[in-house]
Amino acid sequence: MVVCSHFRESLPFETFTDADYSDHGGFSGAAPATDPIITLSVFSSESFRRRLPSSVMSLLPVSANRTSSALTTQRLLYQLSSDQLAIQKQYDQLSSGRRVLRLSDDPAAANRALGLNRSIDRGEQLVRNANSVSGFYDSSDDALSRIDNALIQARGAAVEGVETVISDDVRTAIATTVREAIQSVFAAGNAMFRDQQLLGGILNSDAAFQYDGNEIVYGGNSAVGRTEVGLGTPSSINVTAAESLGAYSMILEGDPLNASLDHATRLVDMRGGKGVTPGVIRISGGAEYTTVDLRTAGTIGDVADVLSSLEISGRKLDVTLLDDSIRVAYADGLAGTLAIEDSAGSTLAHDLSIENPGGFSAPPIIGDKLMPRVTTSTKIEDLDYGAGVDLSSGITIQQGQQTFNIDLSDVETMGDVLIAINRSGADVHASLNEAEGRVQLRSLRSGVDYSIGENGGSAARSLGIRSATETTRLSELGRGRGLVLNNDSVDLTITRPDGTELGLDLEGAETIEDVLTLIRNHPQNQDTSRVLVSLNQMGNGIELQAPPGAAPIRVSQNQFSNAGTRLGLIAEGESEAFGVMDGSVNKVAGVDYLPLEAGGALDTLMRLEAAILSGNEGEIGRLQSRLDEDLDRASGARSRVGIWSRNLLDMKAATETEIVQMKSQLSNEVDADLATVISDLSQRQIAMEASMRIIGQTSQMTLLNFL
């Protein structure tokens, strides 16, 4: 055994007896218990090494062999450098409080820490989002609360205003109360938070409502902001003026427009919007199948072009697009077998209704009911199932006392029609419901009536947006109050220029068409001097015309009936109307019998103010029910904000709890145990001191030390 006896005094090692050696697989020779020696390099038992203090472990291995001085010095300097680095690492842990300062310290823990840090950052961002959204909710609730209070106040004023015996001063005071409610709703509708409209659309910094004379114009948008405040669907941060005030209300949704197939009709627009999925089909003339890859087809024209270029069993195909179908046959027009099938995973032939497995049906194969939907790119010539419509005359929009004539003579697509309407200057917004192929018109101005009619042709009817037609029900007239008719007697009398009277009993009539039919078919109106009746060619309303005679046409309503007024033939407050000469005929041109109201809380309040000032009890009573609807709408919007706010608090609390838990896990992964670090540092310092002593003593050794 090699013993470095001169190290005995300087090394802080335990004293081992020979019993210790024998217990740990050491030499069998005895060793004096009072003579500690370094024999570390010859023991390999792990159980023995575990009994050594860390200060000893830091010195392993200390070579006891006869080596060169340079190698011994290099090994000892390496030992000293390792001790210095270990001490510096522990100093870093003490100063930072972190056990893992870099990935190399503990790669597994560092990887877990990175994931926890990302989750904590995301959670903290969600909390910041929640704090920001909470401000929107609180401000929105305040604005909606003011709207609720104003509508309740106006509802009370309407109840007072419907009294029959009220002085002018009292009536004016009641109307002033309604005016204050209008101002309150107007201000709440323009409420802002962080330079953004609360009700007028997110990211809109301008006032949503503005006065134009005595009328109010809505200039906001329907944009809704959303942000993530927890896991799941992003939460809305605002309600719109349409949801809370009924602004931007839809005043008209036109009749469905029917389009025909066109070479440029997109596959996604077919089958009523369900679409046709491009795929691979197989075609056979009775022998082998030809595979046709149509996965890149975008339009029905692409499908037709590819199929028309094929030769099946030496015969070319002829593919024709019809109004609502596609026809596949042989170009020579002769019969034969024409099998069309979908390849595995494809549904193209099935979607186009041209599937013909095994050639069971003889050509031509016709796939019908493809129903292309109407989009902004649909051509005007493709409307009405391909017959096209004539829009050259244009349409007329009556807005209060203003009339806007819209030129549609140059439009080519439905998108052009919408642009022409939206740029007309009228306070309406036109859009297209592509799912149903309907033109939608929304109002932007409160306090006025709207009317969409003709400008000398049939463009409005062709677009399905003429607001008053023959199908209008009589129960809809008078703003939903219908007609007041006499019991079993004449309700309306039309006196022709020749003096012939046409008495009309409207009992049983249900639509405007029924009224027109009664006039046309009246027994006293079948000669050459008959009264012709139709809808106005300009605007809306009923038009009566007859050859000139001794007196003009006269329309009168009898007894208690208000049929003439509600049909737009007699002015409000009058009992009769007279015709005027228009060229070679005598004519009564009625006004629109179905004016459209802008809708919404502000429109209701403005109409209520006017009705109270004029003492129109019937109108006040009608507007009371509308006020109830407006209040329900505003209260519903406020309720939604309250629910959002409650959910927001719950999600915020859950996120904050999750952040605390993740920070605790992060601390367990990367934070240092200060007690352990201090203990290890003390031992490292002892080990470093030992290393320095060894270096100092070995640097003085001579050859005699090894003899």
Burial 10-40 (b: 16+ CB within 10 A, else e): ebebeebeeeebeebebeeeebeeeebbbbb
Judged against a pLDDT cut of 60, whether residue 608 lies above it is answered with: yes
pTM: 0.75
Asked which of 90-104, 248-262, 416-430, 603-617 is least confident by mean pLDDT, the reply is 90-104
- Yes or no: say if 582 and 545 are a contact pair by the CB < 8 Å rule: yes
Report the greatest alpha carbon distance in the chain. 157
Tokens of 274: 């369900």
The pLDDT of residue 63 is 52
Report how far residue 297's alpha carbon sits from residue 354's, in angstroms, rounded to the nearest whole number: 16
How far are the Cα atoms of 455, 461, 467 from residue 395, in angstroms, in the given order? 5, 9, 11
Judged against a pLDDT cut of 60, whether residue 610 lies above it is answered with: yes
Instruction: Provide the angle, in degrees to the nearest 10, between the axes of the packed helices 617-670 and 601-614.
Output: 160
The pLDDT of residue 704 is 63
Query: Which among 24, 30, 19, 17 has a CA at the least distance from the CA of 48?
Result: 24
Tokens of 239: 């309600």
CATH topology of domain 120-249+601-656: f41 fragment of flagellin, N-terminal domain (1.20.1330)
The pLDDT of residue 397 is 96
- Yes or no: say if 294 and 276 are a contact pair by the CB < 8 Å rule: no
Report how far residue 186's alpha carbon sits from residue 216's, in angstroms, rounded to the nearest whole number: 9
Residue 96: CB atoms within 10 Å: 12
Judged against a pLDDT cut of 90, whether residue 84 lies above it is answered with: no
- Yes or no: say if 371 and 256 are a contact pair by the CB < 8 Å rule: no
Judged against a pLDDT cut of 60, whether residue 333 lies above it is answered with: yes
The pLDDT of residue 702 is 64
- What is the bridge-based pairing of β-strands 339-342 and 315-321? unpaired
- pLDDT bin (cut points 50, 70, 90) of residue 278 is very high
DSSP 645-707: HHHHHHHHHHHHHHHHHHHHHHHHHHB--HHHHHHHHHHHHHHHHHHHHHHHHHTT--GGGG-
Q: How far does Cα 254 stand from its chain's mean position?
A: 23
Tokens of 368: 């019908």
Of the chain, the end-to-end C-alpha distance in Å amounts to: 14
pLDDT tens string 611-658: 999 988 889 999 999 999 999 999 999 999 999 999 888 888 888 898
Tokens of 411: 């439009």
The tokens 């329309």 sit on which residue?
555
Mean pLDDT, the chain, rounded, equals 85
DSSP 147-213: HHHHHHHHHHHHHHHT-SS--HHHHHHHHHHHHHHHHHHHHHHT-EETTEESSS-TT--S-SEEEET
- Yes or no: say if 349 and 340 are a contact pair by the CB < 8 Å rule: yes
β-strand partners of 292: 281
The tokens 């009775």 sit on which residue?
286
Tokens of 298: 């975008």
3-state helix, strand, coil in the chain (%, to 5): 40, 20, 40
Domain coordinates of the chain in residue numbers?
5-97+675-706, 120-249+601-656, 267-367, 383-462, 474-597
Burial 496-534 (b: 16+ CB within 10 A, else e): bbeebebebbbeebebbeebbebbeebeebeeeebbebe
The pLDDT of residue 96 is 82
Instruction: Provide the angle, in degrees to the nearest 10, between the axes of the packed helices 168-189 and 601-614.
Output: 170
H/E run at residue 375: none
Query: How many residues are given for the chain?
Result: 707
**Phi/psi of residue 554, nearest 5 degrees:** -130, 135
3-state secondary structure of 243: helix
- Yes or no: say if 320 and 259 are a contact pair by the CB < 8 Å rule: no
The tokens 């370094």 sit on which residue?
38
pLDDT tens string 665-707: 888 888 888 888 888 888 888 888 887 887 777 766 666 665 5
pLDDT tens string 374-391: 999 899 999 988 888 999
Judged against a pLDDT cut of 60, whether residue 273 lies above it is answered with: yes
pLDDT winner (highest mean) among 52-61, 67-76, 100-109, 383-392: 383-392
pLDDT tens string 195-237: 888 999 888 888 999 999 889 999 988 888 888 887 677 888 8
**Phi/psi of residue 448, nearest 5 degrees:** -130, 160
Mean predicted confidence (pLDDT) in 415-426: 95
